[in-house]
Structure 1
Amino acid sequence: MTNMATISIVALIAWLFFAGSALASFKLGWSKMIQMALIWVAIFGGGFVIASFFM
């Protein structure tokens, strides 16, 4: 593994930690967090599907 790949992995883990702590600060229940996560997956998935038709 190169140094650049190691830095990228560490940075991605740090961003995941920051996003998780920001989400936890809202103090939502697990069901609401899972619902929000599925909505975001659907939004990005739909965007990728639509973008794939134009490429």
Structure 2
Amino acid sequence: MSQGNWVQIVALFGWLILAASGFASYRLGWRESIRMALLWAGIFVAVALVFSLAMG
């Protein structure tokens, strides 16, 4: 791996930590967290499906 790849991996890991800490600040329970994650995943899948059908 080149130096640029390692920098990208470290930066992505940093963004993951930042997103996780921001989400943890809401102090939701595990059940609510999983429900919200599934809801957002469903929204993204639905939008991607609509775009793929519209462009395809």
Q: Normalising by the residue count of structure 2, what TM-score does the alignment of the two structures yield? A: 0.85
Residue aligned with 1:18, SS = helix
Q: 2:45 and 2:5 mapped to 1: Cα distance?
A: 26
RMSD: 1.1
Aligned to 1:34: 34
Q: Which moved more, 1:5-14 or 1:22-31?
A: 5-14
Q: CA deviation at 1:49?
A: 0.9
Percent identity over the alignment? Answer: 42
Q: Which has the larger radius of gyration?
A: 2
Unmatched runs of 5 consecutive residues or more in structure 2: none
Q: 2:50 and 2:4 mapped to 1: Cα distance?
A: 32
Unmatched runs of 5 consecutive residues or more in structure 1: none
Aligned residues: 55
Change in Cα spacing, 1:54 to 1:5, as seen in structure 2 (3 Å) is: farther
Runs ≥4 in structure 1, deviation > 4 angstroms? none
Q: CA deviation at 1:2?
A: 2.2
